[in-house]
Amino acid sequence: MSASALSCQGITKYFPGVVALDAVTMHVGAGTVHAICGENGAGKSTLGRILAGIHQPDAGEMFVDDRAARFASPRDALAAGIAMVHQELAFCDNLTVAENLCLGALPSRRGFLRRDEMRRRATEMLSAIGAVSLDPRRLIGSLSVAEQQLVQIAAAVGSGARIIIFDEPTSSLGSVESTRLFALIADLRARGVTMLYVSHRMAEIFELSDAITVLRDGRHVRTCATHDTDEQRVVHDMIGRSVEQYFPAHLAAAPGEAVLEVRRLSSPGRFHDVAFTLRRGEVLGLAGLVGAGRSEIAQAIFGLDPRAIGSISVRGEPVRIGTPREAMRLGIALVPEDRKRQGLVLAMRGRENVSLPTLPALSRWSWIDRQRERASVLEHTGSLRLSESAMELPAFALSGGNQQKLVMARWLAAHSDVLLLDEPTRGVDVGAKAELHAWIDREAASGKGVLLISSELPELLSLSTRIIVLRDGRVAGELARAGATQERLVRLMAGLAA
């Protein structure tokens, strides 16, 4: 075994109400890519953040090159050669790439900024990782997520980091961008950089890593060389049990009457002339690259796009939907892609989040009937396996999977029968993902119409009755379940000849 570049011994970290890490011990070999995986809430991001000096451990020790290290801040960690590429990208949006890259040590002469020098340094840092096409004068806020990530990596490499921690780097990247990132990681490894790769995406982990550490519930489960293990075993370690392959039950019956018909739906600059019909008892997949207009269409149907024009019929009746409230009344539900920003009020309890849209029905003269509220919430969270005690915790204290279930339960309580699900399993752990899939299938089988937007092609392929592919805001094609393969989807999405 190679010498360890970084190791930790008995790292323990408490957060209000939870033990995030419980005596975790781990060694990372120098010059390797070491994957850290686990379900959401397993503590993998927390471990990364402690190693990068963002959090301080409550107990335990860290060693860099076998020397004891103690970081009071990310600056300390950086001085020891450790940098982190964040899940939530941490830059000043209002400053330029060059300013952000030089922020730690702005070049100046007698107190005045030397802009030319700053730009030169930034260009140098960017070209060191092959990002030559990125203009250092652009504002960070104007960059795509992938570009921002490149800037972060450039900052890490440019500051002389020998150990880089990637926290779920592909969570907001498309497939092309991900591939580019993997090439960069391989290149960095060849240059002797040690990398920690925090993720729960099996395919990436097996493609990239030399060793895998699995965490579960804040505890270390296993570390082994990647070639000594397989996906099944890692998934089993992550969730503590094995997941069965899943065959959707809603396919047993033929789809029923049309519940949502969309014709000539357009919104300037977003999507054009979109038409489809959603029937009861079917899951209609909506595929496309980031920016193809998938979320925008769902939001327009839900009354969130005032510029959208076209015709929409619900249960055969032509309707006009100007606000989410009107959409709700028609039985349409939207589970938005960004649950923290659009789905939940994080400071409110789980119960309060679920009852939010249905509160008037659970009250008399505006007075909330708490018993009815509890009963209603319980009735609709039960089928999602959300515990009663979780309903009284603030939403931010729940795992990603449970947060997503709150948003779903909300619309069950509102008796919606058109479910627009936008990336319903993004950032959700493996166990909860299987439950959400089963739930989606059950809802469709019970006669609801489900529009499923997802960037995960296996998810679309396994759940959908048929799949519509969007490209640049237009319908590029439709695939029946029988004829749909990952390759055909990708070709349609990217506009290649089928």
Q: Which is nearer to other proteins, 14 or 182 (CB)?
A: 14
Q: Which of 385, 442, 481, 488 binds other proteins (CB under 8 A)?
A: 385
- State the minimum distance, in angstroms, from the CB of residue 145 to other proteins: 19
Distance, in Å, from the CA atom of 336 to the CA atom of 193, rounded to the nearest integer, reads 38
Quote the CA–CA distance of 285 and 458 in Å, as a whole number.
11
CB 445 within 8 A of CB 281: yes
Calpha distance 10→7 (Å, rounded): 10
The total number of residues shown for the chain amounts to 498
Torsion 326-330-331-337 (CA) sign: negative
Q: How far is the CB of 22 from other proteins (least distance, A)?
A: 9
Stretch that binds other proteins, among 95-103, 250-258, 402-410, 445-453 (CB under 8 A): 402-410
Give the contacts of 148 (CB within 8 A, at least 6 positions apart). 89, 91, 140
Stretch that binds other proteins, among 3-11, 119-127, 278-286, 334-342 (CB under 8 A): 334-342
Minimal distance in Å, beta carbon 57 to other proteins?
14
Q: Which residues pair with 309 in a beta bridge?
A: 266
Give the residue with the Cβ less far from other proteins, 352 or 423: 352
Which residue in the set 327, 377, 451, 493 belongs to the binding site for other proteins (CB under 8 A)? 327
Residue 250 or 410 having the CB closest to other proteins = 410
Q: Please list every residue from 211 through 230 that binds other proteins, using CB under 8 A.
A: 217-218
Binding mask 341-380 for other proteins (x = CB under 8 A): xxxxxxxx---x---xx-xx--x--xxx-x----------
| 57 or 336: CB nearest other proteins | 336
- Helix/strand/coil for 260: strand
- CB nearer to other proteins: pick between 340 and 491: 340
Q: Which is nearer to other proteins, 202 or 348 (CB)?
A: 348
Q: Taking CB under 8 A as the rule, does residue 244 contact other proteins?
A: no
- Site membership for other proteins, residue 389 (CB under 8 A): yes
Q: Residues of 163-179 as b/e, b for ≥16 C-beta within 10 angstroms?
A: bbbbbbbbebbbeebbe
The residue among 117 and 369 lying less far from other proteins, judged by its C-beta, is: 369
Report DSSP state, residue 193: -
**How far apart are the C-alpha atoms of 165 and 146, rounded to whole Å?**
16
Residue 306 touches other proteins, criterion: CB under 8 A? no
Written as one letter, the residue type at 109 is R
Q: Which of residues 57, 158, 285, 336 is near other proteins by CB under 8 A?
A: 336
The residue written with tokens 């603030």 in the block is 394
Please check whether residue 493 is in contact with residue 289, taking contact to mean a CB–CB distance below 8 angstroms. yes
DSSP string for residues in 291-353:
TSSHHHHHHHHTT--TT-EEEEEETTEEE---SHHHHHHTTEEEE-S-IIIII--TTSBHHHH
Three-state DSSP class for residue 80: coil
CA distances from 430 to 36, 38, 209 (A): 15, 9, 19
Query: Which listed residue (8, 37, 98, 390) binds other proteins by CB under 8 A?
Result: 390
243 forms part of the interface with other proteins (CB under 8 A): no
Judged by CB under 8 A, the stretch of 30-38, 101-109, 137-145, 399-407 that binds other proteins is 399-407
Q: Is 15 in the site for other proteins (CB under 8 A)?
A: yes
Rounded to a whole number of angstroms, the minimum distance from the CB of residue 224 to other proteins is 24
Report whether 452 contacts 436 (CB < 8 A).
no
Cβ-Cβ contacts under 8 Å for 298 (sequence gap 6 or more): 286, 334, 420, 422, 451, 453
Q: What are phi and psi of 92, to 5 degrees?
A: -85, 110
Residue 181 is a binding residue for other proteins (CB under 8 A): no
Of 435, 456, 462, 494, the residue at the interface with other proteins (CB under 8 A) is 435
> Which of 73, 387, 485, 486 is in the footprint of other proteins by CB under 8 A?
387
Is residue 438 part of the contact set for other proteins (CB under 8 A)?
no
Minimum CB–partner distance for residue 367 and other proteins (Å): 6
The nearer residue to other proteins, 319 or 356, going by C-beta atoms, is: 356
Q: Does 18 bind other proteins (CB under 8 A)?
A: yes
Q: Could you say whether residue 328 binds other proteins (CB under 8 A)?
A: yes
Amino acid at 57: P
Q: Which is nearer to other proteins, 258 or 393 (CB)?
A: 393
Structure tokens that stand for 143 in this block: 């960059």
Piece of the chain touching other proteins by CB under 8 A; list 253-261, 308-316, 392-400, 438-446 = 392-400
> Do the beta carbons of residue 64 and residue 8 sit within 8 Å?
no
| Under 8 Å between Cβ of 266 and 272 | yes
Q: How many residues bind other proteins (CB under 8 A)?
A: 53
Q: Is 38 in the site for other proteins (CB under 8 A)?
A: no
* Backbone angle region of 160, left / alpha / beta, with phi > 0 → left and psi within -120 to 50 → alpha: left
Structure tokens at 398: 């729940």
Q: Which is nearer to other proteins, 128 or 243 (CB)?
A: 243
Q: Per CB under 8 A, which region of 66-74, 103-111, 138-146, 321-329 contacts other proteins?
A: 321-329
Contact 452, 463 (CB under 8 A): yes
List of residues contacting other proteins (CB under 8 A): 14-19, 217-218, 240-241, 302, 304, 323-325, 327-328, 334, 336, 341-348, 352, 356-357, 359-360, 363, 366-368, 370, 385-387, 389-390, 393, 397-399, 401-402, 405, 410, 431-432, 435
